Amino acid sequence: MSDSSEILDALLDAINDAGQLDGYSVWTEVGPERWTEAGAQGAATAYFEIVTPGEELSERAHLIAFPMPAEKPEFDDGAAADRARDAAVDRENGVL
């Protein structure tokens, strides 16, 4: 393993140890094509490249993290809960 490969592995370990971005899934390493598409799909993206003189290829890592779905409130049984649930559904659908 080359020095740049070891450094890139250490960077990826540090990213995993740092945790998730608020509201996003864990970082996932993907190929360059998937990484390019992910930004248009609302994902957070990160790209690391280490280039050293004398090495034929650079070491690269493409990472994505997708937004987590918003948690929907849970409602109790009963008429008041039904009205609150209906109001929440109306807000989600843009009905005022």
More confident residue, 2 or 38: 38
pLDDT-derived band at 78 (thresholds 50, 70, 90) equals confident
Residue 89 token pair: 């559904």
Phi–psi pair at 21, nearest 5 degrees: -70, 145
Strands 44-50 and 59-65: antiparallel
| Closest to 30 measured CA to CA, from 74, 65, 64, 68 | 64
Closest CA to 67 of 48, 49, 41: 41
How confident is the prediction for the chain on average, in pLDDT?
84
